[in-house]
Amino acid sequence: MQSVKIKSALISVYYKDRLEPLVELLKQHGVTIYSTGGTQTFLEEQGAEVVAVEDLTDYPSIFGGRVKTLHPKVFGGILHRRDNDSDISEREKFEIPPIDLVVVDLYPFEETVASGASEADVIEKIDIGGISLIRAAAKNFKDVLIVSSREQYDEVVELLQAKDGATDLEDRKRFAAKAFNVSSHYDTHIFNYMNANGETQALKISVQDSTPLRYGENPHQQGTFYGKLEDLFEQLNGKQLSYNNLVDVDAAVALGAEFEEPAVAILKHTNACGCATGETMKEAYLNALSSDPVSAFGGVIIANRTIDMAVAEELNKLFFEVLIAPDYDADALDLLKTKKNRILLKQKQVELPKKQVKTLLNGFVEQDKDLATETEADFKTATKRMPTTEEKKALVFAAKVCKHTKSNTIVLATDKMMFSSGVGQTSRVDALRQAIEKANSFGFDLSKTVMASDAFFPFPDCVEIADKAGIKAVVQPGGSIKDQDSIDYCDAHGMAMVMTGVRHFKH
DSSP state of 318: S
Q: Cα–Cα distance between 347 and 64 in angstroms, integer?
A: 43
Q: Is 139 a catalytic residue?
A: yes
Q: How far is CA 80 from the centre of its chain?
A: 42
| Rounded alpha-carbon distances, angstroms, from residue 285 to 148, 215, 232, 247, 282 | 50, 31, 23, 22, 5
Q: How far is CA 122 from the centre of its chain?
A: 23
Q: Which residues contact 147 (CB under 8 A, 6 or more apart)?
A: 22, 101, 102, 103, 104, 153, 156, 175
| Rounded alpha-carbon distances, angstroms, from residue 353 to 100, 208, 357 | 42, 17, 10
| Rounded alpha-carbon distances, angstroms, from residue 95 to 78, 90, 98, 464 | 13, 8, 10, 90
Let me know: does 366 contact 500? Beta carbons within 8 Å.
Answer: no
Helical H segments across 116-165, by residue range: 119-124, 129-139, 153-162
Catalytic residue, from 29, 139, 142, 448: name it: 139
Q: Is 71 a catalytic residue?
A: no
Let me know: does 439 contact 307? Beta carbons within 8 Å.
Answer: no
H helix count then E strand count, the chain: 19, 23
Q: What is the residue-wise DSSP string for 434-475?
A: HHHHHHHHTT--GGG-EEEESS--SSTHHHHHHHHTT--EEE
Catalytic residue, from 29, 269, 337, 493: name it: 269
Report the alpha-carbon angle 386-388-275, nearest 5: 120
Q: Which of 127, 80, 71 is nearest to 99 (CA)?
A: 80
Q: What single letter denotes the amino acid at residue 285?
A: Y
Residue 236, judged by CB atoms within 10 A of its CB (0-12, 13-18, 19+), counts as middle
Report the alpha-carbon angle 241-244-249, nearest 5: 70
Q: What is the SS3 string spanning 230-284?
A: HHHEEEEECCCCCHHHHHHHHHHHHHHCCCCCCEEEEEECCEEEEEEECCCHHHH
Q: Give the active site residues.
A: 139, 269
